[in-house]
């Protein structure tokens, strides 16, 4: 799928355990730090990835996250087989959330995830079909 990347990594995101959500993001952060990217770039990727990973656990029962490192860009692809997003533009509006109350009591579900991913990335592509799943492609350019 991504022939030009010099490095690629795949992570399984467990959808059954909210307390472990974010483990893939921690790994991504470590990898980018070891490669030697600028701290601000790493922070942007980490926050976007973490938001997307949390979404995947809350809404889709987990999925697969991939990291592709190019010389000029970092691409994250998060694929799930969750319920899909019926109205993407509505989901992109700040404060809109379908997260259940138990997730809010854990400090998430304020309806800021997708808008925040867009804010920290250079490009965000969302492909989603109701009943089939969602794929997020997040691009950050150093």
Partner 1 sequence: MKISEIASLLDAEVLCCKDGVFHQVHSACGSDMMSDVLAYVKDQAVLITGLVNPQVIRTAEMMDMRCIVFVRNKRPSAEMLSLAEETGIVILATQKRMFEACGLLYTNGLAPKEV
Binding positions for partner 1, 83-122, rule CB under 8 A: 94, 106-113, 115-116, 119
Residue 125: how many other CB atoms lie within 10 Å: 11
- Residue 1 binds partner 1, judged by CB under 8 A: no
- Residue 74 binds partner 1, judged by CB under 8 A: no
- State the Cα–Cα distance between residues 116 and 3, nearest whole angstrom: 28
Q: How many of the chain's residues bind partner 1 (CB under 8 A)?
A: 27
- State the Cα–Cα distance between residues 104 and 45, nearest whole angstrom: 24
Q: Least Å distance between CB 59 and partner 1?
A: 14
Both tokens of 111, joined, read: 């309806």
131: left (phi over 0), alpha (psi -120 to 50) or beta: left
Q: Least Å distance between CB 55 and partner 1?
A: 11
Both tokens of 40, joined, read: 């601000």
Q: Which residues bind partner 1 (CB under 8 A)?
A: 18-22, 25-26, 29, 39, 43, 46-47, 50-51, 54, 94, 106-113, 115-116, 119
């Amino acid at each position: 799928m991504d022939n030009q990347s010099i490095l690629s990594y795949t992570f399984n995101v467990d959808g059954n355990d909210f307390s472990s959500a974010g483990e893939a993001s921690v790994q991504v952060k470590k990898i980018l730090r070891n490669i030697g990217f600028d701290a601000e770039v790493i922070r942007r990727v980490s926050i976007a990835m973490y938001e997307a990973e949390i979404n995947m656990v809350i809404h889709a029962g987990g999925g697969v996250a991939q990291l592709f490192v190019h010389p000029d860009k970092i691409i994250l692809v998060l694929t799930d087989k969750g319920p899909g997003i019926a109205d993407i533009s509505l989901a992109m509006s700040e404060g809109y959330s379908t997260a259940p109350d138990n997730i809010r009591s854990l400090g998430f579900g304020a309806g800021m995830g997708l808008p925040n991913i867009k804010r920290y990335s250079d490009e965000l592509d969302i492909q989603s079909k109701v009943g089939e799943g969602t794929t997020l492609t997040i691009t950050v350019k150093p």
